[in-house]
Structure 1
Amino acid sequence: MAELMEQSLLAMREGAQATRDTGAACDRIGSAFDDMRSAAERLVDTAAEISTFVAAIDALAQQTNLLALNATIEAARAGEAGRGFSVVATEVKALSTQTRKVTDDIRQHISGLQAHVTALVETANGVGARLDDSRNATERANRHIQDVEGAVERNTASMDMIAGLIAGQKDATVKLEEGIASTLTHVSASEIFANEVVGAVSATDSVVKAQFASLEAFEIKNYVLHRAKSDHTLWKKRLAGMMAGLEGLRVDELVDHHSCRLGKWYDHVADPVLRNHPDFRALVKPHEEVHVRGREAAKRYADGDLVAARAAFEAMNVASTEVLMRLDRLIAAFQ
């Protein structure tokens, strides 16, 4: 980035110089148009003077025509003696007529010339105005480019400083990477130990289930409640393993609160003393919440929404605590 900023600064300086050159060229073109406009204005004045001369010549031709007419009249009065004078008067009249025709042609050409010169002056004025606008725009652009050039210079200096800081941080980054690699090594070892512990805990599941299976042959008071506590704890452990990524668990593997061991027992209790016990009546709501929230946690985890899955697991855990508390109270009440 520092190198790119250096290149941008060079390009900006070249652009500023090009803008200044453009402004100078506009000034030269403006001066040339000013000279052309002055020459056109002088040409208009000259055309006006020529028109004055033509008007004078036309007036002289008209006066000559009148004199030739008078001379013709006098020659006619003189008869044979004035015949020669009459020929001269006719020639003078013809010359006067030709002079007037030429002056008319000159006047028309002068009028056309004046129209063209006037258009030329107007065009020159318009071009001059545009040149003034271009000159002003170039000056504004030059000022803006100078401001940008200053900003680029400041940014270039800042980028050079940042580049120096980054270069200085390279050694620290290398050391940090070495520390991270060492930490990852320790973490990997810790993960191996944690997996071994989880595996050992998982191995106890089968032992607990086997022990409870062997106890079913004996008549143990409140056996169903003890077994329900065990099933409940193992069920919650499977959810915890799923949240830790150590166990796969599908939603259809989790039954509702009527289909588990505790639910089946609860729905078929007929003893009125037990059914009217406050902990028994209060057990159904948190037990249902445990299953609903547990199934929701499994579904959210399968969908990849870990935040929602964690929230559902926490809600399940709160309800589970109350279920275990109610079971302990019932076990204590019906010893």
Structure 2
Amino acid sequence: MLKYIVSLLTRKRQFAKNEIEYGKSFMFDVYTIVLVFLLLCNVLINALFLDQYISASVFGGMAVLMFSTLLWPDSIRFNKKLLTGFFFLLGLVVFFCDGTAGKGCMNYLSYISLAIAVAFIFDFSIDKIRIIFLILSYVLFFLINILSDYSLFSDYWLHLSPVKQLYVRVYKVIEVVCCTFVGIYFISRDKVKVREYYIEKERLDNLLKKTDKISFSGELYELAMSKNSLFITYFKSEFPDFFENILRVAPNLVSSELEICALLKLNLSTKEIAVATNSTVSSVKNKKYRIRKKLNISPETDIVLYIINTF
């Protein structure tokens, strides 16, 4: 199972547009696995120590759902509305579990774990309202149970023994410590990646100002071969009309094919393109064949020369 998970995460690299996108997706995947692990721990706690099989089934279902998101496209997984709804739902689950287990179990500590996850997944500069909404929701849920003296869900009280409450408290402390360390690590790593991105962007901006097109083409080659996320940005700087012109001829070209066209414009070989796009040589050949058909290039015409001279 572990080998399958590792291969699944690694395989995503070839579908990412750039290293920054891949890094974001990879960290999200790892954090998802951490959350799945914590949900499975809740299953074990409820089934083996608390004899709460219904709760164990609920947490088990949530763990399966969370794990299944690894197979979802990033366009869905990173949807801010879905993420906000999901974390609000998790807050409601903690609210109910805290209310039924009682103050002695300290289930409210899970709000800290959720808050850390929210801080990692959302960007405060962009998602300020969503973050504030979720954090205030968690605070409100916590206060409702405290101020009502945990009487809101009195019909569903679990009446756990002191020993069972101790089990839950110990687990909750471990959960919070684990989430804190993992969250801090990923948040700091994400900031480092962003800082490196802007340092590289500033370097290339300065380079663009003081170099001519011929020497900058060499920089484009280096960006392409190093799979730098800024490749397309600076390709457009040197060839501002390239994509517009080629899409005018073949509007049905997809983004991955447009990237191949940009690399062909730089006169990269099939093998070099395979390295630059994290794909196989045969995959690149297939894409070049589709590009040839969409651009209506005859078999006897060299596709590289055609793209260089035409666009």
- Report TM bin, short chain: under 0.3
Q: TM-score, normalised by structure 1?
A: 0.24
TM-score normalised to structure 2 length = 0.25
Judging by fraction of residues, say which structure has more helix: 1
